[in-house]
Amino acid sequence: MPTKVAQKQQGAVSHRMNFWGRPAGPSTVAWDYEDMPWEIVRPDDGLPAARRSVRCRVCDRELTFTVYSVTGTGRRQARWRALAWAGLGILVAGVVVLFSGAMLGGGVALVIAGPILGLVFGMAASDEVGISGHGNGFPVTNAKHAVTASPPPYDLQDLACTTCGHTEEFPRAAYFREDYVQEQYEAARDRFARHVCLASGGTGPKW
């Protein structure tokens, strides 16, 4: 799933602390990052990418990233997906070559390369958050500075009584499913509609 992007969203710039990957289980290495919160502000759709600077707390370097608009980011995600599909095409071509028996070695190479390219570009598509610079967003590499973006919360109107300040809470974090959030929001709206406002000289709760 591609990362959800919004014109304004909370992100983080991370400075990688270790030069070599720390062994973390068989055939995996771990990278320790020091995270600094960074509010990502994107240019309007249709405008070219903007340069945004942020100072790294760890190495005190001024980092400049290229930040793409929401639609610009969508195009970049689509480009990675197209390359991932091309990887699948290479796999299919390899199978065809193998069955034709024309070039056995070539067919094997294509069958191996295709899925690897598909995987690498597919991962790049899901990691793409429309921010480039300092090696961020390139597949496979482990940049010294990485940028991550938290998915923005659901855009729903607050349910707050303007007279007494009573608010009806509902979940809106991006990691909840959309239909769950919608269901909970409707329930909260029903509760809010039954709100008896004491401050406005209402009838008070009925027992």
What are all long-range contacts of 113-119, with beta carbons under 8 Å and residues at least 24 apart? Answer: 113/87, 114/87, 114/88, 114/89, 114/90, 115/87, 115/88, 115/91, 116/87, 117/83, 117/84, 117/86, 117/87, 117/90, 118/84, 118/85, 118/87, 118/88, 118/91, 119/84, 119/87
Contact between 163 and Zn ion (CB under 5 A)?
A: yes
Enumerate residues 6+ apart whose C-beta is below 8 A from 197. Answer: 161, 163, 164, 166
Q: Is 156 in the site for Zn ion (CB under 5 A)?
A: no
Q: Does 59 bind Zn ion (CB under 5 A)?
A: yes
User: Which window, 9-17, 66-74, 104-112, 149-157, contacts Zn ion (CB under 5 A)?
Assistant: 9-17
Q: Which of 16, 166, 172, 189 binds Zn ion (CB under 5 A)?
A: 166
Q: Is residue 161 within the footprint of Zn ion (CB under 5 A)? A: yes
167: β partners: 160
Window contacting Zn ion (CB under 5 A); options: 3-11, 13-21, 76-84, 131-139 = 13-21
Supply the minimum distance, in Å, between the C-beta of residue 13 and Zn ion.
8
Binding to Zn ion (CB under 5 A): which residues in 61-100?
none
Residue 58 makes contact with Zn ion by CB under 5 A: yes
Tell me if 17 contacts Zn ion by CB under 5 A: no
Residue in 195, 203, 61, 78 with CA at minimum distance from that of residue 133: 61
Size of the site for Zn ion (CB under 5 A): 9
CB closer to Zn ion out of 58 and 86 = 58
- Minimum CB separation of residue 4 from Zn ion in Å reads 27
Nearest to 91 by CA among 80, 102, 107: 107
Minimum CB distance to Zn ion smaller for 70 or for 159: 159
Q: Which of the residues 187 through 206 are near Zn ion (CB under 5 A)?
A: 197
Q: Is 56 in the site for Zn ion (CB under 5 A)?
A: yes
Q: Tell me if 164 contacts Zn ion by CB under 5 A.
A: yes
Mark the segment that binds Zn ion (CB under 5 A) among 11-19, 105-113, 117-125, 150-158: 11-19
Compute the C-alpha angle 193/196/202, nearest 5°.
130
43 contacts 70 by C-beta, under 8 angstroms: no
Rounded CA separation 189/195 (Å): 10
Positions touching Zn ion (CB under 5 A) are: 15, 56, 58-59, 161, 163-164, 166, 197
